[in-house]
Amino acid sequence: MKLHLHTVFYCVMAVLLLAGCVKKEGSNDRLGFDSSPDNTEDAAIINYLQTNNIKATRDASGLYYQIIQYGDSVHRIGLDNVPSLIYTRRLLNGTAIDASLGTPTSFDGRKLKDHIVGWQIGLQKITKGGKIFLIIPSMLAFGNASINGVPSNAILVCELQLVDFK
């Protein structure tokens, strides 16, 4: 009887331990957080895309993107590279936040991993010389923080050209 109870106990423990290892639907281990879409933000993004007749793809992270130009197909940026970009960044309502004004910028030598997650994901979808249009939900941008004129929980609309990287 004692052996039977031990066997049942160990089987139950094994099942519980294995159940803790199951990946939740909508989770994204690479990003380190649950990237389930915020239905309100997702609806606002879909409305924006439809209103502006933009065809975009939704990444598993919740990022919407449209590759305008793929690039040279050879030189792919990594998180430890320093990107040189021509970019525009605005809010979903069209309010301009900032832009490089046609001049490539390297953001004081910051590596890609030091930029917002939306840029990290989006820029890795193109190669050197490529151009991508992104709609970034707040959870992949600045979240509930208000930073440099970007209000909290802001959805960002960005166009990025990966000029080069080091």
In this prediction, residue 1 has a pLDDT band, given cuts at 50, 70 and 90, of: low
Decide: helix, strand or coil at residue 83.
strand
CA neighbor of 157 nearest in space, from 110, 111, 77, 91: 91
Report if pTM > 0.85: no
Where does residue 38 rank: exposed (0-12), middle (13-18), buried (19+ CB within 10 A)? middle
Unique residue bearing structure tokens 């957080």: 33
Architecture in CATH of 36-165? Roll (3.10)
pLDDT in tens, 94-127: 999 999 999 999 999 999 999 999 999 999 999 9
